Amino acid sequence: MFEVSIIMPVYNVKEHLVRAIKSALNQQDILTEVILVNDGSTDGSAEICDDYAKQEPLLVKVIHQENKGSGHARNAGLDQAVGKYIYFADPDDYFDKHLLKDNCRLAKEIKPEMVVFGYTQEKAEIPSDREVKLPNFPQLTTQEEFRKHFNNVYHFSPYALWNKLYKRRFLKKHNIRFTKQKTGQDALFNIEVYKHLSSVSVNRKAFYHYVSHTGSSVNRYRPDRYLMENTIAQAFEQLIKEWKQEQTFNKLIAQEYFNSVYLETNNLVHSDCPLTKQEKTKRLSDIWEHVGMDKIIPFKKNDPNPFRRILLRNFQKRNFDNVLLLMKSRNQMADKYSKIFGKINRFFKN
């Protein structure tokens, strides 16, 4: 029986896919199956998946489906997985060869329902721009301890899938699956995990390389962006209510709702957004009246990030024109910065 099932949804990532698959196949001293779910790719990614299945027929399984989104793809992988543990990897990232060996060792010793470990955050355009991030909470062996330290858990990429190893029996027992939501299904999945979780092991080493790309889904315009982000905030609030810990974690609830407003602001300044300036301002005003007064202002007074802090103050003053201007200026500066360093990087490669 396989120790771990690596599930990787694949959609039009030909440029990065080989590196990701090699990362999965290069895992040391752990019997691992690699489930590649081709989600209707049209760029040659499907052929790459099939090639690896031919090269490693005992280890690589390929599922082909129509384009339904990464949540559906991961569910398809879960349906086929037989490993004791589940690991979700993204096809445009890569990870170290000891990731599964080191974290499975912890899983066997402590027998948790989930293992959390560190990662390195990188930018595709600026490979030298790296930041190592490590968890800073203790081993959590009871549900009471997990909820007691949840504030620290929350501040370490709580919705990422790739810095966690899940016990398959735990997921199956509680029927934890991905929703049909196009984006943010990883957040909804982990919120459901946290609802039932009672034991977590922590590995303070970085194994995964999370690579941010300019064309990622969060950087695309979506007319239903706010609806999806608000769904996550509502699910998070419901989780805390079920724990009966609203007073303890009211700041986190406020943060979730502010995240939904922040991401919608970023969505509205995207070049593909068809709304007029007046329509954008009206939309922000309506959203702020809906969640700002009740969910955010009473509990969120500040933000550690300077830009988000300035944005929050402008929201509080209802200066929505300035909010849009600030976000647009920030994105333009970030884009210019990435292009400059991208040119420098290409120059030294040639």
Per residue in 158-191, pLDDT (tens digit) is 999 999 999 999 999 999 999 999 889 999 999 9
Which parts of 190-293 are beta strand (E)?
200-212
* Whether pLDDT at 233 is above 60: yes
Per residue in 312-350, pLDDT (tens digit) is 999 999 999 999 999 999 998 876 655 544 444 444 344
Q: What is the mean pLDDT of residues 299-309?
A: 94
The C-alpha atoms of residue 236 and residue 250 are separated, in whole angstroms, by 11
Can you give the pLDDT at residue 339? 52
| CB of 116 closer than 8 Å to CB of 156 | yes
Can you give the pLDDT at residue 218? 59
How would you classify residue 157: left for phi > 0, otherwise alpha for psi between -120 and 50, otherwise beta? left
Can you give the pLDDT at residue 219? 72
| CB of 261 closer than 8 Å to CB of 296 | yes
Q: What is the mean pLDDT of residues 86-100?
A: 97
Which is nearest to 153 in space by CA: 209, 202, 211? Answer: 202
Task: Report the largest interatomic distance among the alpha carbons of the chain, rounded to a whole angstrom.
Answer: 61
Contact partners, residue 86, CB within 8 Å, separation at least 6 = 4, 5, 7, 78, 165, 166, 167, 168, 171
The C-alpha atoms of residue 229 and residue 260 are separated, in whole angstroms, by 5
Can you give the pLDDT at residue 350? 44
| CB of 159 closer than 8 Å to CB of 190 | yes
CATH 3.20.20.70, domain 4-217, yes or no: no
Can you give the pLDDT at residue 337? 58
Min mean pLDDT across 110-124, 210-224, 294-308 is at 210-224
Confidence band, pLDDT 50/70/90 cuts, at residue 212:
confident
Can you give the pLDDT at residue 348? 39
Which is nearest to 295 in space by CA: 315, 279, 323? Answer: 315
Q: What is the mean pLDDT of residues 206-231?
A: 86
The C-alpha atoms of residue 68 and residue 47 are separated, in whole angstroms, by 19
C-alpha dist (Å) from residue 276 to 102, 269, 319, 331:
52, 10, 17, 19
Lookup: tokens for 43: 């760029």
Its pTM stands at 0.92
Per residue in 131-156, pLDDT (tens digit) is 999 999 999 999 999 999 999 999 99
Confidence band, pLDDT 50/70/90 cuts, at residue 128:
confident
* Whether pLDDT at 55 is above 50: yes
The C-alpha atoms of residue 221 and residue 268 are separated, in whole angstroms, by 8
| CB of 245 closer than 8 Å to CB of 143 | no
Can you give the pLDDT at residue 213? 74
Helix (H, G, I), strand (E, B) or coil at 172: helix
* Whether pLDDT at 5 is above 70: yes
Give the burial class of 133: count Cβ atoms within 10 A of its Cβ; 0-12 exposed, 13-18 middle, 19 or more buried.
middle
The C-alpha atoms of residue 120 and residue 132 are separated, in whole angstroms, by 4
DSSP summary character for residue 295: I
Can you give the pLDDT at residue 328? 95
Residues of the chain with CATH 3.90.550.10: 4-217
Q: Say which residue the tokens 């330290």 belong to.
A: 149
Return the ∠ at Cα 331 (arms to 327 and 332), rounded to 5°.
115
Per residue in 11-22, pLDDT (tens digit) is 999 999 999 999
Identity at 147, one-letter amino acid code: R
Can you give the pLDDT at residue 341? 46
The C-alpha atoms of residue 224 and residue 182 are separated, in whole angstroms, by 10
Can you give the pLDDT at residue 344? 44
The C-alpha atoms of residue 142 and residue 149 are separated, in whole angstroms, by 11
